[in-house]
Chain A
Amino acid sequence: MTLRARSLAIAAVAALTLTACGGSDSTDGSADGGDGSAADGDVVTIYSGRNENLVGPLLEQLEEATGTPVEVRYGDSAELAAQLLEEGERTEADLFFSQDAGALGALANEGRLATLDESLTGAVIDGYADEEGHWVATSARARVIAYNPDLAPEVAEMTSIDEILDPQYRGQIGIAPTNASFQSFVTALRVDRGEDGARDWLTRLQENEPRIYERNGLILDAVDNGEVALGLINHYYWFEKADEVGLDSITAQIHFLNSDDPGALINVAGAGILEGSEQSEGAASIIEYMLSEEGQQYFTDETSEYPVVDGIELKEGLTPLAELQGSSVDLNQLDSLAETLALLEEVGLT
């Protein structure tokens, strides 16, 4: 208690000093400690749409390993993409680290991303880099069905997303239609089955009276406590919850459809280098590190994602990406979210 109080006091003094000396320039551990403009020499500025808790340690680790000093600004991927578009050529950012391919695609479409060296785009499993070489995936995540084995054990045998349309699941399905992950799935559905096919599926889903949640984590909680029998989420939420409450305390299970079905969508987080960056070499070395064995090991161990490079030792419970039979939809085609939103609006799923 005393120790705690003392460390608190020390932290308070330290923080006050930092604020007093550096104005508000109280940089965290990962930054270079200078005030940006002075040390601009070789600092790589990263705009990260990925959460600080998820990737902060990796960025510190790579700063040490590559010798490239980095400065990171965190935000929402799409908002950062909007910011980068507003900043245009004047941006200080060198590297954009995005939670999804869509935000990278938006920047690439506006000509804001430089073409990456083939040593980077060629390092990943086929299909996990932009065909034009503007960005490369750094890790992958799968859409899965979370289910409560007490209520719907048969989910473990499903191979198509159509199976959840069975009337026996009326009011028993959890979805997060405002969440980007669900919207990507619907986009895949549209690309795979066309507008009419997607509309038909969504209408039938709507008739099954799904329960609406704000985010994947809440769906998983609802499945876990039996509020719903199953829900559509990304795989890593299950691993996160398992880490948080312990494997013994989690009832919900997840099932990957493992077939060429839009419900078996594998999406990615990725990185691209800003066009006109003066630090493109440093930025490239950062991407290189993210794709290295250490970087990939970090993603699977710490964020429970799929490595995009072969030969990485996987977190317990994960299947190698190359062995997963996922949806054959091209990720580059997942950039038509406006049409997806219009369709969701049309069927009333918002």
Chain B
Amino acid sequence: MHDRSAVAPRRLRRSGRPPGFLAIPGLVAAAVALLPIAYLAVRAFESGPGRVVEVIVRERTALLVGRSLALTFAVTAASILLGLLFAFLVVRSDLPGRTVIGVLAALPLAIPSYIAAFAWVSSPVDVSGFVGAFLVLTASCYPYVYLPVVAAMRGIDPATEEVARGLGRTPWQAFWSVTARQVRPAAAGGALLVALYTLSDFGAVSLLRYDVFTRVIHTSYRSSFDRTPAAILGLLLVLLTVTITVTESRMRASSEQVRVGGGVARRPSTIRLGRWAWLAGPLTTVILAVALVFPITSLLYWSATGLSSGVDVGRLVESAVTTAWFAVLGTLACVALAIPVGILAARYRSGLVRFLEHATFAGHALPGIVVALALVFFGIRFATPIYQETPLLVLAYAVLFLPAAVAAVRSSVAMSSPRVEEVARSLGKTRGQVLRQVTLPLAAPGIAAGAALVLLTVMKELPATLLLQPTGSTTLATSLWTETGVAAYAAAAPYGLALVVLAVVPTLILMRVQATR
């Protein structure tokens, strides 16, 4: 809506062939990410193509696809709004208490959507169906947009806005015409994750009784023991996912912006809210109350109720330690696989790169149980020594959450100009040195934000953990599942609380790293 004065040259991505030291690890990452889809193809077509058609043309399939898409669209739109709003208030405004709000706003991510859903279901307020699913999923998903956008806003060189101010714009106008446009890739990447999470969610929608696509997949596994229809519907979900990621990357391609300078360690200026503060204060309070305070209060209430039955402290601590251990390993694996793909996606334009990028996202909307069964299928055949051992579980986490890390790497690398790298090259640095000394350090805050996202998400993963974890280990999520399985929500609540507490740590560190940069 404002003029399109480019902050940097429009052509930011090279069309040449990507270097092997990025392309090969990128291919590995894509191969790993494609495992579930290969598995689905095997299972879907084993009963012949006739069956595939039969399942797809069922009347109900179309209805459920429609419902899934409607929910996905609504949740994604609302998450973008909330994510941008919070990021702006925290990074740029003079809203009182913004540092605290900055931390609190990221925390709903630590609350598994099924816990938030249970909080609503077990409350006197009757929230169910579309409205309930929309509320719960938006509340637990908007940090996917918020976190990368905060990182992007902090990474933006304030000089560009200052130029805009120098040209006579008000602080607001400068913000909208410069900064808001520069965070678009980060926001789009986050929005994609929200969309795919919403498509894949099962726990919240089933508790809130909103019938969507994933529920049919689960029902197919759970009650007919027939893996073929589930696999066919899973492939349909992959198709939807690819459609969404292609759309997102087209949108992103038209909005690329970079910072021209190097790493300027300067805080951007503050925009005064003025009378808007009267609106912003209560608004953030209400949103945080719904997304954070309400589910946590519910957890506390149930914990208190359950205290009479006694909490197994030893198991709680053991679960927490195991959770942290798995989460750290899963995050490391995920980020390691994501870095080559993310850099390629940000820097190169070729068929191979597009393929790698979409391949890492293609399976992201698949429910965890599908990914878990795929790894069971491949693991027991081709990786017997690590089957049901930690390495295979870590691999499963990497498959499940690779897109979050790829999106973070891509958007943070895209924020810095390739010209800086070219200068370093011209000064005699090798490509590897440029990567280590220029590209990655510049992108570090964004990658850290992505790592935190992955860490928080791995912690609450359940279906793959159940099928693939080493025999005898327990995580907070599996303990939570065990307790709720016997309808003892009160006894489960302490595990839920521990999960939230554990998730606070990376969030605080992350916020601190970003604030002091």
Contact = CB atoms under 8 A, between A and B. Distances in A.
B471 A26 contact: no
B222 A78 contact: yes
Given A26-B472, A79-B466, A11 B221 contact: no
Given A90-B384, A183-B223, A83 B376 contact: yes
B325 interface: yes
Contacts of A16: 321
A243 to B, nearest CB: 10
B326 interface: yes
A102 B206 CA distance: 22
Interface stretch (A67-75, A153-161, A311-319, A322-330): A67-75
Interface in B369-416: 369, 372-373, 376-377, 380-381, 384, 387-388, 390
Contacts of A75: 466-467
Interface stretch (A141-149, A165-173, A188-196, A337-345): A337-345
Interface in A60-115: 71-76, 78-83, 85-88, 90-92, 102-103, 106
Given A82-B373, A212-B209, A53 B224 contact: no
Contacts of A212: 209
Interface string B453-488: 000000000010011011111100010001101111
B483 A53 contact: yes
B297 interface: no
B224 A178 contact: no
A25 interface: yes
Interface string A14-35: 1110110001111110110000
A212 B486 CA distance: 20
A98 B152 CA distance: 50
B373 A53 contact: no
B100 interface: no
A296 interface: no
Interface in A195-221: 212, 214-218
A82 B485 contact: no
A79 B227 contact: no
A214 to B, nearest CB: 6
A86 B221 contact: no
B156 to A, nearest CB: 41
Contact of B472 (A15, A31, A216): A31
B209 A214 contact: yes
Interface magnitude class on chain B = 35 or more
Given A90-B380, A237-B487, A7 B313 contact: yes
Size bracket of the A interface = 35 or more
A248 interface: no
A75 to B, nearest CB: 5
Nearest to B128: A212
A90 B472 CA distance: 20
A2 to B, nearest CB: 14
Contact of B206 (A23, A26, A91, A214): A214
B109 to A, nearest CB: 24
Contacts of B206: 178, 214
Nearest to B463: A79
Contact of A338 (B224, B372, B373): B224
B222 A180 contact: yes
Contacts of B320: 15
B276 interface: no
B222 A72 contact: no
A240 B486 contact: yes
Contacts of A87: 376, 380
Contacts of A92: 387-388
Contacts of A7: 313
B16 interface: no
B471 A12 contact: no
Contact of B325 (A24, A71, A240): A24
A103 B326 CA distance: 30
A253 interface: no
Nearest to A335: B225
Contacts of B223: 78, 102, 180, 183, 337-338, 340-341
Q: Is the interface of A mostly helix, strand, loop or mixed?
A: helix
Contacts of B221: 78-79, 82
Contact of A91 (B380, B473, B478): B380
A79 B486 contact: no
B135 to A, nearest CB: 17
Interface in B395-448: none
Contacts of A244: 309, 488
A15 B318 CA distance: 5
A338 B478 CA distance: 29
Given A79-B369, A90-B380, A25 B482 contact: no
Contacts of B313: 4, 7-8, 11
Contacts of B225: 78, 81-82, 85, 102-103, 106, 337
A24 B460 CA distance: 17
Nearest to A24: B390
Most B CB contacts (10 A, CB to CB) among A24, A73, A90, A91 go to: A24
Contacts of A82: 221, 225, 227, 369, 373
A23 B390 contact: yes
A52 interface: yes
B226 interface: yes
B162 interface: no
A178 B219 contact: yes
A333 interface: no
Contacts of B317: 8, 11-12, 15
Nearest to B308: A244
B322 interface: yes
Nearest to B474: A28
The residue in B322, B390, B474, B487 that gathers the most chain A C-beta atoms within 10 A of its C-beta is: B487
B211 interface: yes
B147 interface: no
5 nearest A-B pairs in the assembled complex, by CB-CB distance? A217-B487, A106-B225, A27-B472, A338-B224, A78-B222
Given A91-B380, A337-B225, 6 more contacts: A11-B317, A18-B321, A23-B390, A24-B469, A86-B227, A338-B224
Interface of A: 4, 7-8, 11-12, 14-16, 18-19, 23-28, 30-31, 36, 45, 51-54, 71-76, 78-83, 85-88, 90-92, 102-103, 106, 178, 180, 183, 212, 214-218, 237, 240, 244, 337-338, 340-341, 345, 350
15 contacts: A11-B313, A19-B322, A24-B390, A73-B388, A74-B466, A76-B466, A79-B221, A82-B227, A87-B376, A87-B380, A90-B380, A102-B223, A240-B487, A340-B223, A345-B60
Interface of B: 60, 121, 206-207, 209, 211, 215, 219, 221-227, 309, 313-314, 317-318, 320-322, 325-326, 369, 372-373, 376-377, 380-381, 384, 387-388, 390, 463, 466-467, 469-474, 478, 482-483, 485-488
